[in-house]
Amino acid sequence: MKDFIVLLLFCHVASPGKHSLKYFFTTSSGVKNFPDYVAVGLVDEVPAGYYDSISKTVEGKQDWTQKMFEDDPQHMEWYTQRCLLHQYDDKAQIDILKQQLNQTEGVHIFQRMSSCEWDDETGEVNGFVQYGYDGEDFLAFDLKTLTWIAPKQQAVITKHKWDRDRALSERSTYFITQQCPQFMKRYLDLGKSSLLRTELPSVSLLQKTPSSPVSCHATGFYPTRAMMFWRKDGEELYEDVEHEEILPNHDGSFQMSVDLNLSSVTPEDWRRYECVFYLSGAKNDIVTKLDKAVIRTNWGKTGILTLLCFFC
């Protein structure tokens, strides 16, 4: 239930080469047996800190964050005060929206996400601050114009009010361009033994039947800042290709697949295709040539026992 409410609106996947620091703040009204305010911080999609309105205590979710708070209690106190302030402001915002929209009963959820990304290959830094109400986008800060974008008519009144709040715009700009990147780089350094580790996967070519797409499957990699694609004659393919989402393994590593439809490809052209796996931080890509001899299948005599579990 916690994860559902906290991540109800915002679902983002880190891009290869980029590191991220994200803060999710979720305030609810009418939800029974659950804190009416929850805050979660993630570094490179890894939960690093947690706070809720019941415990009123910032908790480190990783060994390195817990040690950081122990060594720097002022930093933990800063987070505690920020959570208390957001809790008060967001609770008031829910009450305002309920009045504006004539909502007297039911469950209502107000969310904010503040985030920044740093590309360790180019040095580029980006970020955003955005809000959601009852599972839909509500307002997003435009760093170029220093104004708020309202995707829904119900947010226009709040947009005009926030546009006039110069201090709010200045705080949002400072967070995106200064504070968040500084914090992120500090956390990456403190947690580098786990956050910056890289583990390459084993890559296999799989096929269910002779007429099925060939799946390039990578498993056992870490972190999630990875991508995989098919290419032909050195050029990435976009047609006849289907990408599957990155999934976790039981040991903390990840797996992913990308399928290639070969229905219109002649056997003579197979040698022109290859699967490429890229992992941020790794020295080299893993390139797997499309070769019928190495495809593992669950048809014929070869590979039945090996892939029995995969295709069950």
Q: 85 to each of 2, 81, 259, 279, how far by Cα in Å?
A: 21, 6, 48, 39
pLDDT of residue 45: 85
Q: Which amino acid is at 228?
A: M
- 3-state SS, 131-161, equals EEECCEEEEEEECCCCEEECCCHHHHHHHHH
pLDDT of residue 220: 96
pLDDT of residue 127: 93
Tokens representing residue 34 in the block: 């659950």
Report helix, strand or coil for 72: coil
φ and ψ at 111, to 5 degrees?
Answer: -125, 150
Pairing status of strand 286-289 against strand 147-149: unpaired
Tokens representing residue 279 in the block: 């992992």
Secondary structure letter of residue 270 according to DSSP: G
Helical H runs in 191-249?
192-195
Q: Looking at the whole model, is its pTM more than 0.75?
A: no
| Ramachandran quadrant class, 252 (left: phi over 0; alpha: psi -120 to 50; beta: rest) | left
pLDDT of residue 5: 40
The structural domains of the chain, with segments of one domain joined by +, span 2-194, 202-307
pLDDT of residue 104: 82
Give Cα 93 distance to the centre of its chain. 26
The answer to whether the peptide bond before residue 35 is cis (omega within 30 degrees of 0) is: no
- Among candidate residues 77, 42, 76, the one with its CA nearest the CA of residue 184: 42
pLDDT of residue 17: 65
pLDDT of residue 225: 82
CATH architecture designation of domain 2-194: 2-Layer Sandwich (3.30)
Instruction: Encode the chain (312 residues) as per-residue pLDDT tens digits.
Output: 444 344 433 434 445 568 899 999 999 998 988 999 999 999 988 899 999 999 999 999 999 999 999 999 999 999 999 999 999 999 999 999 999 988 888 899 999 999 999 988 788 999 999 999 999 999 999 999 999 999 999 999 999 999 999 999 999 999 999 999 999 999 999 999 888 888 999 999 999 988 899 999 999 998 888 999 999 999 999 999 999 999 999 988 999 999 999 998 998 999 999 999 999 878 899 999 999 999 998 765 444 334 434 444
202-307: CATH superfamily: Immunoglobulins (2.60.40.10)
- Among candidate residues 225, 172, 299, the one with its CA nearest the CA of residue 12: 225
